[in-house]
Every structure is written in structure tokens, then in C-alpha cells.
């Protein structure tokens, strides 16, 4: 049995990404991406990519992303670490990047 209170557990249990309502009232789903980095924390960094959906919910219309939140010596290690975030931590990251986007420019 998987614990769907973590990002990785949710992916495994429900076979789809979790969705959240941002502080801007918009619907977002979340994905993970991993890239090679120069970071001293490991050779690979993992971040969250929040896909913003149209108000009708029929198609994506933009995205927001975090900085690297987890690191590892391999892509798998970095991804495992970010997938250990709780859904509450993921929502906190969404709220943070939405606030940052609102302070930068209007959509």
C-alpha cells in the first residue's frame, strides 16, 4: 500500500499528477523534472513544474517552476528525493512561485 501524502506516493497510488488550486485561484497540476547541475549538493537537481490550466480546465496555458529543491549524484536519486516531499510541501512551493510570479508581471 502506498502513502499518497507524498508526491511520489500520490503518483504511484493514483497514476496521475496531483492538482492544486493556487493562491491566484487557478488550477495547477505538478510534474517533476531533473537536470544535470554544477551544484555541490550533487550532480543532478530536481525541481517542480506547475502547469497552469485554463479556467475551463481543458488545456494548459502556462507554467511556473521552482528552483532545484533536491539533489542527487544520479537523476534517479534526485527524483526520489523530490518525490519524498509531502503534498503540503508541494502546495507551499506552488504558493511561493505564484506569489513570485504575481510580483514580477501580469499573465
pLDDT tens digits, 23-65: 999 999 999 999 999 876 669 999 999 999 999 989 999 999 9
CA 86 – CA 97 distance, rounded (Å): 17
Calculate the CA 68 to chain-centre distance. 10
Model pTM score? 0.89
Helix (H) or strand (E) holding 58: none
pLDDT tens digits, 66-92: 999 999 999 999 999 999 999 999 999
- Residue 26 DSSP symbol: -
pLDDT, residue 3, reads: 84
Assess contact for 53 and 63: CB atoms under 8 A. Answer: no
Nearest to 14 by CA among 87, 95, 63, 64: 87
CA 12 – CA 99 distance, rounded (Å): 29
Helix 75-83 and helix 7-14, axial crossing angle in degrees, nearest 10: 90
Phi, psi for residue 97 in degrees, rounded to 5? -75, -30
Amino acid at each position: 500500500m502506498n502513502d499518497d501524502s507524498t508526491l511520489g506516493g500520490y503518483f504511484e497510488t493514483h497514476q496521475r499528477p496531483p492538482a492544486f488550486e493556487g493562491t491566484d485561484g487557478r488550477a495547477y497540476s505538478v510534474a517533476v523534472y531533473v537536470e544535470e547541475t554544477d551544484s555541490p549538493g550533487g550532480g543532478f537537481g530536481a525541481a517542480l513544474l506547475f502547469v497552469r490550466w485554463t479556467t475551463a480546465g481543458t488545456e494548459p496555458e502556462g507554467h511556473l517552476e521552482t528552483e532545484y529543491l533536491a539533489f542527487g549524484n544520479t537523476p534517479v536519486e534526485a527524483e526520489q528525493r523530490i518525490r519524498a516531499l509531502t503534498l503540503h510541501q508541494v502546495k507551499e512551493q506552488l504558493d511561493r512561485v505564484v506569489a513570485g510570479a504575481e510580483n514580477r508581471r501580469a499573465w
